[in-house]
Amino acid sequence: MYLGWLVEIVLLITLFCLAIFVWQVLACKKQAWISDLPELTMVFLVRNQEDIIEGLIRDVYADACITPLEVIVVDLGSVDQTRMILERLAEIFLGLNCLFIKDEPAAFKRVYDLCRGSTIYCFDLTNSTNYCLMSRTIHSILKGSKACLYRTKVMYKQGLERTDSV
């Protein structure tokens, strides 16, 4: 008689412990997924920037260990070697997302929907660009500065928007 109760109690305790274990595993998985989301996203809209794009992307990834970061480069119909450079860099830097879009007005909406970071820095590199200023801007942003130095649009996923340009 007591053996039946003992078996039932052990079985209930085992089921309770199993439920607690599953709950803890799911909670850890959710926390790991949330921590994998980048704090910020850097979007580079480029056209015919073969001279500077590789240096800028390497600058970003040299400092990227400082903060969780997502990098998206959108080539808006380059006719020089920019596309080939970006394809090569995408093989080197696994987190680099490259898109090749010809329709510029639709590009921004499409890219914004892909961004996972809570803060998005969008750099317009479709015209002639000063590499030194861009490099300093990237370094200051990755070190935590909220000020933007050069051709930068800052957006927040919550819908707030600020534009800082020089």
Contact, 96 vs 70, CB < 8 A? no
Per-residue pLDDT of the chain (166 residues; tens, 9 = 90+): 677 788 888 888 998 888 888 887 776 655 444 445 567 788 888 888 989 999 999 888 887 665 568 888 988 888 999 999 999 999 888 778 888 887 666 666 777 777 877 778 888 888 888 888 888 888 888 877 766 555 566 666 654 444 444 4
CATH superfamily, domain at 38-164: Spore Coat Polysaccharide Biosynthesis Protein SpsA; Chain A (3.90.550.10)
Contact, 156 vs 119, CB < 8 A? yes
DSSP 66: G
pTM attached to this predicted model: 0.68
- What one-letter code names the amino acid at 113? D
What residues form DSSP beta bridges with 156?
A: 119
DSSP 95: T
